[in-house]
Structure 1
Amino acid sequence: MIENSVTKQQEVIIKMVLDAWHLKVSQFDKLLVELSDEQLLKEVAPGRNRGIYLLGHLTTLADSIFPLLGFEKQAPHLWKPFVQTSDKDSADVLTVAELRQEWIKVTTMLWEKIAAISSNEWFERHSAISEEDFLKEPHRNKLNIVLSRVSHVDYHLGQIQFLKAR
């Protein structure tokens, strides 16, 4: 039996993606420390989402990585108010302090799960793609899930930065 093994270049790619994830989460953590609860209750710009909504949204999107990697979600109760419902239509289901704790819980557990994934597993299909489709599109793997979420966190991180001046 031939065992799949990753190349040195693939190891570098894995490290780059995971380092990027860790960097963006760390940057968001730092920003959360700098912002008050009152600032997070404000819109990032007139007519745009509030910081609390974006915090809940990013927590939920981080949580959505778990099942794609084969693990159980940690905060499924956040999906409806922070993904399926817009900020303007969403009732505040949690306080800023509670959402801060959810963010820490989800990202800490996610990092633990990510750290336990072997190099070979990163290039396996994620749970949202069929085996047949994965044969045609092998780039739709577990590592690509994390990579796509890096840019998503970065996008909203840029928005939330505006709250520092408000």
Structure 2
Amino acid sequence: MITTDLCVKMVLDRWNGSIENLNKHLTVLSDEQLLKEIAPGKNRGIYLLGHLIAVHDDMLRLLDMGEKMFPELYEPFIKQADKVVTQIPSAAELRAMWAKQNNMFQEKFAKTTTDEWFSKHTAVSEEDFSKEPHRNKLNIMITRTSHLQYHTGQLVLLN
């Protein structure tokens, strides 16, 4: 296997493993548990789930894979803090969005070539990318996987 192919496989395997890990925890958490704060005065589980969907939704644009699936989640889960916006989707609705989004990512990632993973993401200019080729789509996957793992660790505290 070519080294670049191996690098892509390792990153995507870690992404997939992290998604599976969060899914495992989500299946044991009730909707009521997701309404609890991770710690007193901190984010609720439902907010973290919505936040992850909103952040991953933005990956579509960064990876040049299309438009956001759930643009309505930007305001309550990225722009605002937990409990500032009173109207948010239910835990059941967020679970369905999460599943739909992850299925879509699996389809898109399966069609993405190694060369595409090492191409620039949409938030970097051609000029900057020529100086900093590490600002590529695969790097977006690395940072988003770390972000996913961080919030999974928080959600585990609800169980």
TM-score if structure 2 supplies the norm length? 0.96
Count residues in correspondence: 158
Name the SS of the counterpart of 1:89 in structure 2: coil
Mapped pair 1:123 → 2:118? yes
Please say if residues 66 and 72 of structure 1, whose CA atoms lie closer than 8 Å, have aligned partners that are also in contact: yes
Q: Which residue of 1 aligns with 2:131?
A: 136
Q: Which residue of 1 aligns with 2:2?
A: 8
1:7-156 correspondence to structure 2 within 5 Å: 8-70=2-64, 71-156=66-151
The residue type equivalent to 1:102 in the other structure is M
Q: Which residue of 1 aligns with 2:153?
A: 158
TM-score if structure 1 supplies the norm length? 0.92
User: Deviation of residue 88 (structure 1)?
Assistant: 2.6
Please say if residues 123 and 141 of structure 1, whose CA atoms lie closer than 8 Å, have aligned partners that are also in contact: yes
User: Deviation of residue 105 (structure 1)?
Assistant: 1.1
Moved over 2 A (4+): none
The residue type equivalent to 1:115 in the other structure is A
Sequence identity, in percent?
Answer: 50
Uncovered stretches (5+) of structure 2, i.e. residues with no partner: none
The residue type equivalent to 2:158 in the other structure is L
User: Deviation of residue 137 (structure 1)?
Assistant: 0.6
Distance 1:116 1:51 in 2: 32
